[in-house]
Structure 1
């Protein structure tokens, strides 16, 4: 197979820190090359180099070639970052499809075909919605459709199965395999070794910015390891309710009016308890979490904290109420100000919600970040200089100076290597035991849910699904 993209001796340095050091790889037509390694190993820096994109102030050495000058498509780890929030998905995709010319009917057919190839079962519905009305999994597949419409010779897929249920993950894998079958080179950046084993023709292993191994997946990759974090059951006291939703019916606005996305959900979580919320992409998991946190106010029913009703929206909540229920986003990059150091943003939580002075807040923030494995020099950087896994830990750290009673975690272990995932799960288990922190753990990661959760709520199309392999931790409202 002919090479369509080559990286030769790539070295990227930012502010005296080396992100990648001497990385070389060849992407060939019709083949999938996977870059694997722990968070911060240089995968995303290498992948984005193929697009000619580097961190601000980067010093770059080495050569990057795309013979023939073909376009390079990019499917990012956090898809919302490349979707215009003010435009419906259909408008975004039609603009790309129109570059190849054709009638309106041909353009529309091209868009719908790309969405089907990206494993979206209801293209017409997706086309009508704005990005924020789509689940993380749906956003991911819209971005895959964008790359397919571009007709790129190379597609860089950065954690494309992050935060997706097993069925959707399989669909995304099939979409990438279909892309390669059409003669397109795919560079896959992933922590999901099961997907890498299934798809990759060649695996390049990175560690601390350097290539430490390469070859076929069955030769290079280790046997899957079981998570080492242990469930903490002693943290759960008997009786009591910390947070409760009663008769929740949530709606999204669309061009054709409002659509119900949650239907009469009643659920509670006790002090120190972890409730996992699972279900397919688009089942309503994130909407439920956002309602509990006051980030989605278009709902009927009630949300109560320690028996007292909470205002629907965050702007109506007091600082104490905001501090009590904290939300850790699926897309941490979108949650940070890209112009300010991470340490300052984590410290600001304590200043804004607890009235702490700046110096004490910074000391508290530094301690929390260190406990999550983020070195002091790293936290002084802006968010763009951190890897996806590092930024996810920083996003968790940013919620903790508020000293919350309830922490709502939206897909915070998806796309992480096993070691980083264990750091997060172990830290959360410790907070439950030490502080009686209640967790609402939204996830597709059933292994993480098994490690951490006491009960599981299964959602399907916005309703409680009574069944599955776990005991259902809900009270179904009448």
Structure 2
């Protein structure tokens, strides 16, 4: 046994965040903490490092590799000596773990020199995390969200820890890459690594874990019992009418003068009251597409039209155009001001884009946040005091308060449990029924197909398939789509991890 947590409690003033939680992590095994957003998973996991948020007090007993890290007096000095080499932590939002000013390879080599001088550990970590070795010269902002997740995993593995804490490691990963992640994590545990997995991805939990601890509002409510995932109803309907938002012959690059193209002559159209689902592997160009439509990516060619009128980049859009097109991006924590309460930031959208009085805007913000499961007392806190799933839903509520005509959602359920996902789907379905056009960009083909009227599959920046979700799910044309359909559920017998090859780019037909 490498980790023993007994009767762990965490309090912030009169609020109890974690109440007498106990669990163990053994070498070569995976222990999972499962629960809704805000259930105490991250607080419990950070106790292994002797860490806690501002104003939070830890109590109980936490022992890691024979050293007491937390006792009745709180964190112990021993916690400083286990970080990295004994326990490595990969946070839920990979952007917060990566230095935006340094190339990835430089950071990894520095960690290797710090923890294992003279040893070649970087190549080993990069292979285990499925990071292309040619990508080490890039900066974090040059990766997609799913790719940053794997870079953050490589950063943790470079320390060669005895215990690896993974906080929502499948966030932003497509189904095929999730399969590969399962395969790599199994190989790591076979080598003796102990893993503490924090996840709402129940398929991932079933595929990996030896023991499961289910948390709810800081309490252990069960062990070794994984709840079934509810089936979401199909809500997509074909909506007639002229396109509201169009992209024609859209190409985009990462560098000036059209170098490093990530989108190639892509066309799309979405009508009022309809939903276009965009799926593809991590790094396929989905987020670049979303940023082009939102006006945030300026290195593109082609045409963007809103109501048949040219749509400029964001800095040249009018306030009304900004209101009409809203974008909820994948890594939401960086989009909030840490110095202001979340509810005030959500309300600010209604004030600035719709001219609502502050009190009225705040009341609307609180009501919308409640619709997606973020209570008023939680929303009144600064962003650092909210879980990843709560902040993700707050970002959606902020965009909804603009009353947009087009809502672009980029992986907005990656940090959510099944209940939170159902609340989001319910709200988006209601918006669609009111006439809002939705563009849902995701890695979960099954979830996207449940809401979309049309599904577009892109690979290496090219459209490889497009059509109604029923046809795409039952009669896929491209090889990539066929593999995505087979891998919708991790436990599907036709898609074992070892048999899924890397996808090959297919020319647009």
Give the structure-1-normalised TM-score.
0.91
**Paired residue secondary structure (1:50):** helix
CA 1:232–1:477 in 2, change beyond 3 Å: closer, same or farther? closer
Displacement after TM superposition at 1:100 (Å): 4.7
User: Does the 8 Å CA contact 2:144/2:287 hold for their aligned counterparts?
Assistant: yes
Aligned to 1:262: 263
Tell me which residue corresponds to 1:72: 87
1:297 is displaced (CA, Å) by: 1.0
Partner of 1:25: 23
Q: How far has the Cα of 1:257 moved from its partner?
A: 9.0
1:119 corresponds to which residue? Answer: 130
Structure 1 residue 44 corresponds to structure 2 residue 55: no
Find 2:7's aligned residue among 6, 9, 34.
Answer: 9
> Per-residue displacement from partner, 1:169-198 (whole Å, max 9, x unpaired)?
011122222222221210000111111111
> How far 1:101 sits from its partner (Å)?
5.8
Residue in 2 that maps onto 1:339: 339
Unaligned residue ranges in structure 2 (runs of 5+): 67-80, 467-471, 478-506
Dislocated runs of 4+, deviation >6 Å = none
Match of 1:231 among 222, 229, 235: 235
Give the one of 244, 252, 267 matched to 2:254: 252
Are positions 1:136 and 2:134 aligned together?
no
Preserved CA contact (<8 Å) 1:155 1:186: yes
Deviation, 1:127, is: 1.0
Matched, 1:148 2:148: no
**Preserved CA contact (<8 Å) 1:245 1:302:** yes
1:361 match: 361
Contact preservation (8 Å) 1:191, 1:416? yes
Do 1:247 and 1:477's aligned partners in 2 also have CA atoms closer than 8 Å? no
Partner of 1:203, secondary structure, is strand
Give the TM-score normalised by the residue count of structure 2. 0.85
Question: Residues 403 and 330 from structure 1, CA distance in 2 versus in 1: closer, same or farther, beyond 3 angstroms?
Answer: same
The offset of 1:14, in angstroms, is 2.1
Match of 1:221 among 198, 214, 226: 226
Distance 1:448 1:257 in 2: 34
The offset of 1:17, in angstroms, is: 2.1
Corresponding residue of 1:211: 220
Gaps of 5+ in 1: none
Does the CA contact (< 8 Å) of 1:262 and 1:462 recur in 2? yes
**Match in the other structure for 2:311:** 310
1:151-175 deviations in Å (ceiling 9; x for gaps): 1111110110112111100111222
Secondary structure at the aligned position of 1:150 is classed as coil
**1:79 & 1:65 partners in 2: Cα distance?**
27
CA distance in 2, matches of 1:163, 1:341: 26
Assess if the C-alpha contact under 8 Å between 2:236 and 2:453 holds in 1.
Answer: no
Note closer, same or farther for the CA distance 1:86–1:389 as it changes in structure 2 (3 Å cut).
same
State the shift of 1:224 in Å.
3.7
Structure 1, 440-449 or 420-429: larger mean CA deviation: 440-449
Q: 1:293 matched to which residue of 2?
A: 294
Q: Does 1:99 align with 2:110?
A: no
- Distance in 1 (alpha carbons) for counterparts of 2:127 and 2:258: 25
Task: Say which SS state the counterpart of residue 343 (structure 1) adopts.
Answer: helix
Shift of 1:102: 5.7
**2:75 corresponds to which residue?**
none
Quick one: structure 1 residues 257 and 67, their matched pair in 2 at CA, closer, same or farther if it must change by over 3 Å? farther
Q: Does 1:443 align with 2:458?
A: no
Sort the Cα spacing of 1:15 and 1:404 in 2 relative to 1 into closer, same or farther, 3 A: farther
